[in-house]
């Protein structure tokens, strides 16, 4: 029985380092691709935020227009048009156009 066992069962692995420059090119391509993807996601995020802002502005405008119209119909029962014009000047201007 031999007590000189070192734990190795075969010869050392031969590691080829010849393609090392190819790895750095792949790394630079990978980094460039990652940067482009980040820029694309940032652009998408900005476009989404812009779309949400425009949609909320349109909804707010249409809702206010609808509410002003409903209030203008219900307000005129006592004949106090002066106070109505003070609070809702845009409704009077729109009605003058029509």
Alpha carbon of residue 46 to chain centroid: 5
Say yes or no to pLDDT of 7 above 80: no
Q: Is residue 68 in a domain?
A: yes
pTM: 0.49
Q: Is residue 36 in a domain?
A: yes
Residues 40-78 as b/e (b if ≥16 CB within 10 A, e otherwise) read eeeeeeeeeeeeeeeeeeeeeeeeeeeebeeebeebeee
Q: Is residue 9 in a domain?
A: no
| Summary mean pLDDT of the chain | 77
Q: Is residue 35 in a domain?
A: yes
Question: Across residues 34-54, what is the average pLDDT?
Answer: 97
Give ∠ CA 33-37-47 in degrees, rounded to 5. Answer: 155
Q: Is residue 38 in a domain?
A: yes
- Domains of the chain: total: 1
What pLDDT score does 28 carry?
86
Q: Which one-letter DSSP state was computed for residue 11?
A: P
Structural domain boundaries enclosing 48: 20-74+88-97
Per-residue pLDDT of 14-31, as tens digits, reads 777 666 565 667 888 889
Rounded Cα gap, residues 91 and 88, in angstroms: 6
């Amino acid at each position: 029985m031999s007590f000189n066992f070192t734990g190795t069962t075969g010869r050392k692995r031969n590691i080829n380092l010849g393609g090392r420059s190819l790895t750095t090119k792949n790394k630079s391509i990978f980094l460039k691709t990652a940067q482009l993807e980040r820029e694309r996601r940032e652009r998408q995020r900005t476009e989404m935020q812009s779309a949400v802002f425009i949609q909320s502005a349109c909804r707010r405008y249409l809702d206010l227009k609808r509410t002003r119209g409903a209030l203008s119909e219900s307000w005129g029962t006592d004949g106090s048009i002066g106070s109505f014009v003070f609070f809702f000047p845009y409704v009077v201007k729109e009605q003058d156009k029509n």
